[in-house]
Structure 1
Amino acid sequence: MTTPWGETELSRFPDDPRDRLRAWDASDAYLLRHLAEEGVDLSGEVVVLGDRWGALATALAAHRPTQITDSFLSQEATRANLARAGVGPGAVRLLTTQDPAPERVDVLLVRVPKSLALLEDQLLRLAPAVHAGTVVIGTGMVKEIHTSTLRLFERILGPTRTSLARQKARLIFCTPDPALARPKNPWPYGYTLPDGVGVASGRPVVNHAGVFCADRLDIGTRFFLQHLPEGPRGRRVVDLGCGNGVVGTAVALADPEAEVLFVDESFQAVASAEATYKANGVPGHAEFRVGDGLAGVASGSVDLVLNNPPFHSHQATSDATSWRMFTGAEQALRPGGELWVIGNRHLGYHVKLKRLFGNCELVASDPKFVVLRAVKKGERPADG
C-alpha cells in the first residue's frame, strides 16, 4: 500500500499466498492521504477503530496509535504487518472491543464496520473520551456508508458531513459536541428463544453488538437447533464459530456432562457466548476461546464439532474461512468423531466435506438450508 510516508507491505491473516484479497482498500488510502494533505496533528492520543487488517495502524505506527478491533484475525494481521514493517511490538497499543475504552482521544479514526450496531456500541463507549478538539474522521467504501451511518455519528458525537467520493471511497467528518445528550448504550441485548427449538426453547440469549442476528434468532440457527445430534453423554463438543453460543448452550442443556468449547474470532461473539451460557445456569463444563478456528486444539481430542461457517470476509464472498474450519475440525476430531454443518443449500459444502472426510450425509434440509454430517475415518479407540 502506497502512503504519504512511503510504501507498506501488508497481508491478511492467516497469510496465504493464494489469497488474492488485499489487506487494504481505497478507503484506507483515502484517509491516510487526507491526514497528510491537511496536516492533521497526530501528536496526541490517536485511536484507530475497526482497522480491518492493520493497514491504518501500521501506516501510523510512528504516532503510537491505539487500535481497537473486534477481530482476532485483524489483531493478528496487525501484529504481523507491524513486524514486517520493522516496527517494535510496543509501538501500537492493541485493544479489543471488550477492553475498557481509552480515557482520552485526540484523533479518532473510524473504519466503518459492516455492523451498524457495533459502530453504535463503540462510539458510545468512546464518546466520554472525546472532547471539543478531537478530530473525528470515518472512512469506508461508498457502498458501506449510508444515511443511517451518518446519523449515528451525529446522534452520538456531533454534526457530521461527508466528503466527495474518490475511487469509490468516502470520508466522514464529525465535529464533536461535548454538550450533546447521548443515548444510553442498548448493548448487550437479550431476548428469549422461541418455542420449537428443542431443549433451548424459552431460554435466554445474550448478544453483544456486532454479533450476527443480535436481536433475534436467525432462521439457519433455528433449523440447526431442531436437528442437533443425539449421542453418548460426556462428549467433548466444539461450537465452532459460536456467535452468541446458543448452539453450544443447547448441547450443554441436553447433556450437562458434556465439555463444550466455544470458539470464535470475534471478541464480541465469545463474550456473548459466555454470557448466554451463564444466563442459562448450565451446570456443566465450558471453555470460551477467541482464536482462529480450531488452531491450538490438540489433534484427536474432540468428539463433535458443530459449525455454521460464514461465507463473507467483510465485503468479499469467500470460502476460505469455511475450508479452514472444516480442515481444523477434521484434525481436531477423534477417529469416529463427527462434524455437523448448517449452511445455505447453494454453497455446496457437501463437495468440500466429501473431499476432506471421504463421506458426507444429508441429515435434514428445507428449501434454503441443509444440515450435513461428516465422520472422521478410523475406528474410535475402545476406551474412547
Structure 2
Amino acid sequence: MKPELNLHGRTLTLQRYPARTKETLQAWDAADEYLINHVQDMTLDPGRPILIMNDSFGALSCWFANQGKVTCVTDSFIARQGCIANLKANQLPDVQIIDCQAELPDNPQLVLLKLPKITRLLTWQLQQLCQKLPAGCTVIAAAKAKDIHTSTLKLFEKNLGSTKTSLAVKKARLIFCEVNPALAQPLPAPLSWEVPEHGLTLTNHANVFSGDSLDIGARLLLEHIPQHRKYQHIIDLGCGNGVIGIKAAQQNPQARVICVDESYMAVASCLANAALNLPEPAQLEAIVNNCLTGFKPGSADLVLCNPPFHQQNAITDHIAWQMFCDAKQVLTSHGELIVIGNRHLGYDGKLKRLFGNVSVMAQNNKFVIYQARK
C-alpha cells in the first residue's frame, strides 16, 4: 500500500499506527479527500481554531496543521499516536490533541467531523458542538455514502441544526450543518444498568461497546473467570467498561488488576465501574494504551482478552494477533491467556501457533472461550 496522499500539489506520507512492514490498509479514505477538496477553496482565518473530530490517523490534522490553530478531538489512543507520528514524519507543526470529554476550544471557525461508528458518540459530539459553536461556524461531516442514512441526517437536525448533503464522490458523501444555538441541551449522562446475576452495576460513556446492556460474549466469559491465589497480577486486555476485570478482581481479591483499552471513554467507564462495584477500587487500575506496549515482560499471571476484529472502520485481525503476542511476552512462565471470540474467527489456530497449545474452556452457538498457557 502506497503511503502518499497527493492532492493540490502537496504530498503527505501517512502511515497507520502502529506501523506494519506489510501494511495493506491506507491511513486515509475517500471521505478525507472529499473534505480536503471541499475546504481547499475556503478562506481560513489563521487566528481561529479549526476543530477536527475523529481523525483516524491524522490525515486531516496533517493537512491543516500549517493553516491554522488545529485541535484534534479523538477517543482513540491509537488515532492520537498515529496523528503524532504522521505530523512528525511530515515535519509539520504540532496540533492540540484532546479526548472527547475535554473542553472544546473557544470560537472555532470550522469543524470537520468524520462520522464515528457508534451513534451514541455522534449524538454526544453534536450536542457538545451545539453548546460551544459560535453563530456562522461551518460544520462539515464526512463518511462513506453507505454509512449516511436518513436517520443520520435527522440526528444532525435534532442536535445541531439545519442539515443537507452533497452528491457522492468516490462512494463518499459530505454533510453540511448550520448551527442552531436554540437546540443546545445538557450533555447526556452515561448509561447505567444492572447485571443482577453477578451483583454488578455498570455505567458506560458514549463510545463504549454495548452501551446499554451486557454483551453476550462478556456474559459467557463472566461465567468462566478463574479463581485461585496463584493469580497475583491479572490483566483485562481490551477492557471496554471493565466488567471482566472487575469480576476477576472480585473473585481474586489478592490480585492486582490492570484494565487496558485504547478508548479514553472505555477507561473512564472502567474506573467509574470499579468505584461502584469493588470494596477496594484501588485494587484495579485502568489505562489507555496500544495493547500491552511498555508492560514488563514476565509480569502477569493471567491475561483475559476479548479482542476487537476491526480498527476504525476496517475489518482486520492484526489487532488480535498483536494482543496475543503482547500477552505472551507479558505472561510469567506457566501464565495463562484466556480469550473469547466469535466461533468464525478461528482464534485457536493463532493461539496454537503462538503458544504451542490451546484448549476450549467453554462455548455456545456463537462464542468460544480458549485457554493457552505459556
Q: 1:228 to 1:313 in 2, by over 3 A?
A: same
Question: Aligned partners of 2:86 and 2:124: how far apart in 1?
Answer: 27
Q: Identify the residue that residue 60 of structure 2 maps to in structure 1.
A: 56
Q: Identify the residue that residue 33 of structure 1 maps to in structure 2.
A: 37
| Secondary structure of the corresponding residue to residue 86 of structure 1 | coil
What displacement does 1:15 show?
A: 0.6
Q: 2:256 aligns with which of 249, 253, 259?
A: 259
What displacement does 1:45 show?
A: 1.4
Question: Aligned partners of 1:131 and 1:179: how far apart in 2?
Answer: 12
Letter in 2 for 1:98: Q
Letter in 1 for 2:277: N
Q: Identify the residue that residue 191 of structure 1 maps to in structure 2.
A: 193
What displacement does 1:38 show?
A: 4.3
The one-character-per-residue Cα deviations of 1:135-175 (angstroms, maximum 9, x if unpaired) are 10001111222222212221121100110000000000001
1:245 and 2:242 matched: yes
Question: Aligned partners of 1:233 and 1:190: how far apart in 2?
Answer: 33
| Secondary structure of the corresponding residue to residue 251 of structure 1 | helix
Q: 1:279 aligns with which of 252, 270, 276?
A: 276
Letter in 1 for 2:195: L
Q: Identify the residue that residue 198 of structure 1 maps to in structure 2.
A: none
Unaligned runs of 5+ in 1: 196-200, 377-384
Q: 1:282 to 1:233 in 2, by over 3 A?
A: farther
Q: Would you say the 8 A contact 2:72–2:98 is kept in 1?
A: yes
Q: 1:125 aligns with which of 125, 128, 138?
A: 128
1:104 and 2:101 matched: no
Question: Aligned partners of 1:190 and 1:290: how far apart in 2?
Answer: 22
Unaligned runs of 5+ in 2: none
Question: Aligned partners of 2:116 and 2:295: how far apart in 1?
Answer: 30
For these two proteins, the number of residue pairs brought into alignment is: 368
TM-score w.r.t. the length of structure 1 is: 0.93
| Secondary structure of the corresponding residue to residue 179 of structure 1 | helix
Match runs of 1:212-251 below 5 Å: 212-232=209-229, 235-251=232-248
Letter in 2 for 1:232: R
The one-character-per-residue Cα deviations of 1:293-321 (angstroms, maximum 9, x if unpaired) are 11111000000000000011222211100
Question: Aligned partners of 2:304 and 2:242: how far apart in 1?
Answer: 11
Q: 2:200 aligns with which of 194, 198, 203?
A: 203
Q: Identify the residue that residue 351 of structure 1 maps to in structure 2.
A: 349
What displacement does 1:75 show?
A: 0.5
What displacement does 1:282 show?
A: 3.1
What displacement does 1:229 show?
A: 1.5
Q: Would you say the 8 A contact 1:161–1:173 is kept in 2?
A: yes
| Secondary structure of the corresponding residue to residue 18 of structure 1 | coil
1:150 and 2:153 matched: yes
What displacement does 1:3 show?
A: 2.7
1:77 and 2:74 matched: no
Letter in 2 for 1:242: C
Q: 2:92 aligns with which of 84, 87, 92?
A: 87
Q: Would you say the 8 A contact 1:220–1:342 is kept in 2?
A: yes
Match runs of 1:142-181 below 5 Å: 142-180=145-183
Q: 1:116 aligns with which of 115, 119, 124?
A: 119
1:19 and 2:23 matched: yes
Question: Aligned partners of 1:99 and 1:7: how far apart in 2?
Answer: 32
What displacement does 1:43 show?
A: 4.8
| Secondary structure of the corresponding residue to residue 109 of structure 2 | strand
The one-character-per-residue Cα deviations of 1:350-376 (angstroms, maximum 9, x if unpaired) are 000000000001000111110000000
| Secondary structure of the corresponding residue to residue 136 of structure 2 | strand
Question: Aligned partners of 2:278 and 2:105: how far apart in 1?
Answer: 33
Q: Would you say the 8 A contact 1:4–1:32 is kept in 2?
A: no
Q: 1:144 to 1:40 in 2, by over 3 A?
A: farther
1:304 and 2:302 matched: yes
Question: Aligned partners of 2:53 and 2:11: how far apart in 1?
Answer: 22
| Secondary structure of the corresponding residue to residue 362 of structure 2 | strand
**Superposed structure 1 runs of 4+ greater than 6 Å apart:** none
TM-score w.r.t. the length of structure 2 is: 0.95
Question: Aligned partners of 1:202 and 1:5: how far apart in 2?
Answer: 60
Question: Aligned partners of 2:156 and 2:350: how far apart in 1?
Answer: 43
Question: Aligned partners of 1:106 and 1:167: how far apart in 2?
Answer: 27
Question: Aligned partners of 1:314 and 1:82: how far apart in 2?
Answer: 19
| Secondary structure of the corresponding residue to residue 136 of structure 1 | strand
What displacement does 1:210 show?
A: 1.2
Letter in 1 for 2:351: L
